Amino acid sequence: MIAQLEVPDWVPDVPPDLAGYLTIAPAAPLLLPATAILLSVVYLAGAVRLWSQKRRWSIGRTLLFLCGCLLIFAVTGTNVEGYGFGMFSVFMFQQLTLMMIVPVFLVLGAPGTLLLRATPHRFGGQLVLRAAHWGLRSRLGKLLIHPGFALPLFLISFYGLYLGGIADALLANQVGHTTLEVLFLVSGVLFTVPVLSVDPLPRRQNHAGRLLDVFGEMALHAFFGVIVMMAATPLVAAFANPPASWNVDPIADQQLAGALAWSYGEFPNLIIVLILLHAWYLSDTKRSRIADERADKEGTPELDSYNAYLESLTRAADRNPTRKEPS
C-alpha cells in the first residue's frame, strides 16, 4: 500500500483553481525563482549598457528572454510549485514548461551574443570573456550540445524518470523535487541551443539535422503521453495519494498529465519546426542571391565554356552542311 503523500507545510490545502495557481508562494524553494530574477537583471544590465553606448541591441530579443525568465518564476515561484508536489498533471506542466517553452524564449534572446558584446574588456570582464571563449573551443562544449548527448537526456527525463522508478526516489522531498526542475531546465536548454541559437557555438548543425532532431523528440513525447494516458494504475508513488482536501482523482490526474505530454509538449516543437523551415528558406535564398551576384561580376567559366563548345559545333555544322543524296 502506498503511504499518504507528505507535502511541505507551505503547500496550499485548498482545492486548486486558477487564482490559487497564480498566487505567489514566498515559502517555495528559492533556487529557480531567484535564478530567474538574477538572469533578468544581468541580461537587462547588458542590454542597457549597449543602448547607453548607442550600440544596437534588439528590443524583441530582450522581451523574449525576459518572457522566459518570467515563465520560470511563474511555474516555480507560485502555488503551481506547491500543487506540483502532489499532482502529476501540475508537475508535468512544470516539466514541459521548463524543458520545452522556457528554453525557446531564452535561446531566441541570444544571451551569448549579448554577453560577448556587452561584457567590458577589463577587470573581471576579461575572465568572463576568457571562460566564454574557452567554452566555444572546448570539447566539453561540443559534447554538451551534441544530439547524441541531448536526446538521451530527454529519454531519461520522461521514460527513465517515470517508467524506471527514478521519480519515486527524487520526488520524496523538496531537494529532489527542485533538483529535477533544474535538470529539466538545463536539459531543455542543451537541446534547444543547437537547434535555434543564433549565438556563436562550438559546433553547428545544418537545417536538415536540426529538423531531424526535433521530429525525433516529438515522437518521444507523443509515445510517452499515450503510455501515461493508458496506464490504469498510478505510475509515480508521489502522486498516488494527493491531499484529500484537494479533491483530486489520481488516475484522472495522471491521464491529464499524459494528455499534456502529448499536446502541450508538442506545441513548442511545431513552432520550432516553422522557425527552422523559415530560416532554411532564408538561408537558401541568401546563398542563391550571393551566387547570382558573383556570376554577374565574375561570370560562370564552366557555363561559358559549355556554351562556347555548343557554338563551335553549330559553326562547324554550318560550314559542312549534310547533303541528302538523290534516290
Whether the pLDDT of residue 2 is over 70: the answer is no
Looking at 157-161, 246-250, 297-301, which range is the least confident one? 297-301
Look up the domain containing 151 and give its range.
18-318
Percent of the chain with pLDDT over 70: 87
Domain-embedded: residue 327:
no
Q: What is the pTM of this model?
A: 0.83
Q: Is residue 3 part of a domain?
A: no
**Quick one: pLDDT band at residue 287, thresholds 50, 70, 90?**
low
Residue at 314 is within a domain: yes
3-state secondary structure the chain: CCCCCCCCCCCCCCCCCHHHHHCECCCCCCHHHHHHHHHHHHHHHHHHHHHHCCCCCCHHHHHHHHHHHHHHHHHHCEHHHHHCCCCHHHHHHHHHHHHHHHHHHHHHCCHHHHHHHHCCCCCHHHHHHHHHHHHHHCHHHHHHCCHHHHHHHHHHHHHHHHHCCHHHHHCCCHHHHHHHHHHHHHHHHHHHHHHHCCCCCCCCCCHHHHHHHHHHHHHHHHHHHHHHHHCCCCCCHHHCCCCHHHCCCHHHHHHHHHHHHHCCCCHHHHHHHHHHHHHHHHHHHHHHHHHHHHHHHHCCHHHHHHHHHHHHHHHHHHHCCCCCCCC
Asked if residue 323 is part of any domain, the answer here is no
Within a domain: 6: no
89 in a structural domain: yes
Question: Residue 33: inside a domain, yes or no?
Answer: yes
* 196: in domain: yes
Q: What does the pLDDT read at residue 207?
A: 79
Q: For all residues of the chain together, what is the average pLDDT? A: 86
User: Who wins on pLDDT, 315 or 238?
Assistant: 238
Q: Note the pLDDT tens digit of each residue in 111-138.
A: 999 999 999 887 778 888 888 888 888 8
Residue 180 has pLDDT above 80, yes or no: yes
pLDDT digits (tens, 9 = 90+) for 6-23: 568 888 889 999 888 989
How many domains are there within the chain? Answer: 1
